[in-house]
Amino acid sequence: MKESEGKHNKERNLLALTGAAALLALAANLAFSAFNSHRKKTKKKDLPGSNVRVNLSPSEILRLADRIIAKSKAVHDKVASVPLDKVSYVNVVSPLAELEAEQFPLIQSCVFPKFVSTSDEVRKASAEAERRLDAHALMCSMREDVYLVIKAVAARGEWTSAEAKCYIQSLVREFEQNGLNLTVTKREEVQRLRTQMDELSLQYIKNLNDKSTFLLFSEAELAGLPLEFFKGLDKAENGKFKVNLRSNFVAAVLELCKVGRTRRMVAVAYGKRCGDVNLSVLENLVQLRHKYARLLGYSNYADYAVDLRMAKTTSKVFEFLEDISINLTDLATKELNLLKDLKKKEEGEVPFGIEDLLYYAKRVEEQKFDIDFGALKQYFPVNLVLSGVFKTFQDLFGLRFEEILDAEVWHGDVRVFSVFDLSSRELFGYFYQDIYAREGKYGQTCVVALQNGALSSNGARQVPVALLISQFEKDISGHPGLLRFSEVVNLFHEFGHVVQHICNRASFARFSGLRIDPDFVEIPAQVLENLCYESFVLKLISGFHQDITKPIKDDICKSLKRWRHSFSALKLKQEILYCLFDQIIHSADNIDVVELFKHLHPKVMLGLPVLEGTNPASCFPRSAIGYEAACYSRIWSEVFASDVFASKFHGDPLNQYVGMQFRNKVFGPGGAKEPIEVLSDFLGREPSIQAFVDSKSECSL
């Protein structure tokens, strides 16, 4: 690798220096990029060590998918043919591990074009390839012949390393989660239940996605909403505006509308969506989940869902949620009283309801904090922010990012970077940066793992490759692309995932980068997201777009830090309410979900009742698909990330010694080590909720 590194050294562009040099480097980089985009095309360079393929045609995508499936079947057949008395790590486990490492970048080469391609035909082919590959993966996970030989290897207990033992146990567990340790009859029942659950989950979401419902309001009834909001509305024959019950319209009304009656009408209508229909779907879905879990040997679905996560047990989840809720009660009470007092001043004796929370929280924030987020955006030109992000992560984690010019990419906006260890100059991996908005592209900021790190049987290391996707404004003829502060925070978070993926040193692709415990995977990125509120970092990544030598002022930095926690206790209690609901319905049979919400709402929300006529259970998609019995996980990540940041980074957020410890002890192990051990090793103790609670109190209004 060092040989190829030297060979391409002159063709890479070093990014992110300090002080005035950073500004000169940024200007030079932009000028060179402009020159490079207009020069005569040259032969595109491969990325040494990367097996990711880009710019495949629709037919090439489908042919590659078929070759992947054929190779996978051949390897699984060969493994399954090993006599049970002849099984070994070498003839069973090693071929499967190498197959995973080899095929993952090829699978992703088929799948990721659906997120980024400008061609409708390519996106369709990518979706079809994904369908074929998913069907094949499901078939492989149900192969009893392969399960039996892996089980035989596990029974011998001949591990080559602790990580190899973890890998074999993971293989066995995956098969048994699909019922391979059950009788044929029970196994068929498991598959039947899974199919029914998938159908009901999709039905629940389909019902929610009905976009035909709307309410009519006059302009006066929508007082407080900006002109841009009205531009997105249709008008009825009577001249009133149609407010569609989509989440973006509802959120705008609840946060900005001055008319309490309008806020209440919208909140009630939004909370009544799908009513009895989705209520019935959810009740049936939960019962099927319990049956499914019991067939697999669990008492209930929550036990099944939590068993393989960092939390481990439902009792631990309940304890965690209740501890956080109790510790936030005093602060949340102060916040609620402040909002009630403000509503009384503005609307008289009308009772404060849950529908008033967003509006009055925003009103207090406007009074307490001198932050104009529209004006603040002028200080975050996208190229300057990126330069600052690069410098921050390079300095903190002892890395160097170098742009690879003339690498093959799927669009002219895409840039490719290699990542080196600063000291050893070892190539750690690559990342693609596809961050500007365009038609047909995936609309959210996210990171896609394109190739996982792994150690082959001959000792060679396969390097990780990541893709950062976003939809930022692009510089257009004198108008710089500017980022909202929320986009800056999101960029830090997702770039944390890029570095997390690339700095992983696991031996098995299965444990590499982002393929780790879902309770843990967001914690490192949440830790790094905190950097956005540190004055030193804010000044590094900001500069007025007409004069980037002028960063945001100290008082704004302080206000942003305080604003971050404003009314956070009350808002978090509302999230805890839904997490408790999700955990309870998946922990017991025959729960009356309507009565459960009526009971939980005032208990958690300091006496505020559920909105009369609404049924939150009928419009709570996280519990229906994707996060069932695991809604707590986002709070879990935030809480323990706060502990890590407060204990190790607070006061000196760019301390490279701490950064290197984080890189080696947190990023390094990936999924090969229990998350609680990873955090305890880094912290020198078990993680705690106290730093999170203290951070809320310190920044209270």
Give the residue numbers marked as catalytic. Answer: 494
In a 10 Å sphere around its CB, with 0-12 CB exposed, 13-18 middle and 19+ buried, how is residue 561 labelled? middle
How many other C-beta atoms can be found within 10 angstroms of the C-beta atom of residue 211? 9
> Which residues partner with 381 through β-bridges?
482
Q: Crossing angle of helices 144-156/162-177, nearest 10°?
A: 140
* Residue 235 dihedral angles phi and psi, to the nearest 5°: -115, 145
Residues 6+ apart with CB under 8 A from 284: 200
- Structural contact between residues 159 and 168, judged by C-beta atoms closer than 8 angstroms: yes
Q: How far apart are alpha carbons 469 and 442 in whole angstroms?
A: 8
Q: How far apart are alpha carbons 80 and 92 in whole angstroms?
A: 8
571 is written with which tokens?
Answer: 């808002």
In single-letter form, the type of residue at position 671 comes to: G
C-alpha 400: how far from chain center: 25
Residues 6+ apart with CB under 8 A from 187: 178, 179, 180
Residue with tokens 């090693």: 94
DSSP codes, 160-192: SSHHHHHHHHHHHHHHHHTTTTS-HHHHHHHHH
561 is written with which tokens?
Answer: 């830090």
**449 backbone φψ class: left, alpha, beta (φ>0; ψ -120 to 50):** beta
Residue 454, classed as helix, strand or coil, is strand
Residues 6+ apart with CB under 8 A from 164: 89, 93, 507, 508
Residues 6+ apart with CB under 8 A from 84: 148, 149, 152
